[in-house]
Structure 1
């Protein structure tokens, strides 16, 4: 992986949102959680959110990045604060790996991973975001690396019950810049 000069790496924990205007590598680990990445190819700015749950019912509190709708709203507010529009960004979405497949065998559409995936896709549609790439579902966890100086997102998916020793796989739909 190519690194920009003077690059900082920031690790996003569940519920965090980050937006940057300088060379930065964002990293996160997703199980049933989902992450959106936004990258502006002309300005080389963008960010990532890491949400845990689709939504909450109480709306009388400040926005919280733990919830899909609120995390994406926080990310989009950062984009607007920098004088840009959501449609000018390359948007990618990752995660939603089922971590306990045996527990949800009889109700596969009621697990948190499936609910998070559905929420992410519905939000992308509601906000008219074109998804340049996505890697969601299956089982296990994903490590995500997002380089703001190139817009490349690297994904390492570790399905349940497997050992992978290979290096990060660059999301193929990000090639060609």
Structure 2
């Protein structure tokens, strides 16, 4: 495992770095995408909360890792800086766990499912090769992404619904 810096991503954070770095996060309904370039040993992780920015806001100028479409744009910017293309990266995607199993979202969007669907569409649209995924279900996930090897360690804490007794 990497012996360099350990970076923790909060919801909405994005980090791109070189070998020697570990990136960690904890996910619920949010989704993390990891990208790793095996030859250059560079890559990054995003931790997005929603598919798209609901409306332009003055408090978040520029691109934000809070939104899937903007997080992918942040990745593409890093690739431009490194002279690389999406097809050269190993992409992995995690999260989108239902935090309230058994409850109906009603007319509101179903955030976990929407987060998964947009992430998959964006990766396909930009030509990324998905090499691993752990999506949906319930509960939280803890991730550690090692930029030395491209490995991601996952701990899934599945949440079970309580059964009503009669």
Q: Considering the TM-score relative to the shorter chain, is it more than 0.5?
A: yes
Count residues in correspondence: 158
Kindly indicate whether the alpha-carbon contact (under 8 Å) linking 1:91 and 1:131 is maintained by their aligned counterparts in 2: yes
Normalising by structure 1, report the TM-score.
0.83
SS of the aligned residue for 2:150 comes to: coil
Q: Report the Cα distance in structure 1 between the residues aligned to 2:160 and 2:26, rounded to whole angstroms.
A: 17
Shift of 1:57: 4.0
Runs (5+) with no aligned partner, structure 2: 162-166
Question: What is aligned with 1:85?
Answer: 85
Question: What's 1:38 paired with?
Answer: 35
Question: In structure 2, what is the equivalent of residue 134 of structure 1?
Answer: 133
Match of 2:103, SS state, is: helix
Q: Distance in 1 between matches of 2:54 and 2:160?
A: 35
Aligned CA-pair RMSD: 1.9
Deviation at 1:18, TM superposition (A): 0.3
| 8 Å contact kept, 1:18–1:75 | no
Instruction: With a CA cutoff of 8 Å and minimum separation of 6, indicate the structure with the bigger relative contact order.
Output: 2
SS of the equivalent of 1:71 reads helix
Q: Can you give the 5+ residue segments of structure 1 that lack an aligned partner in the other structure?
A: 163-177
Are the structure 2 counterparts of residues 59 and 110 from structure 1 closer, same or farther at C-alpha, using a change threshold of 3 Å? closer
Report the counterpart of residue 96 of structure 1 in structure 2.
Answer: 96
| Residue 65 (1) aligns with residue 65 (2) | yes
Q: Is the 8 A contact 1:46 1:79 kept in 2?
A: no
Q: 1:78 to 1:104 in 2, by over 3 A?
A: same
Secondary structure in structure 2 of the residue aligned to 1:125? helix
1:62 is paired with a residue whose SS is: coil
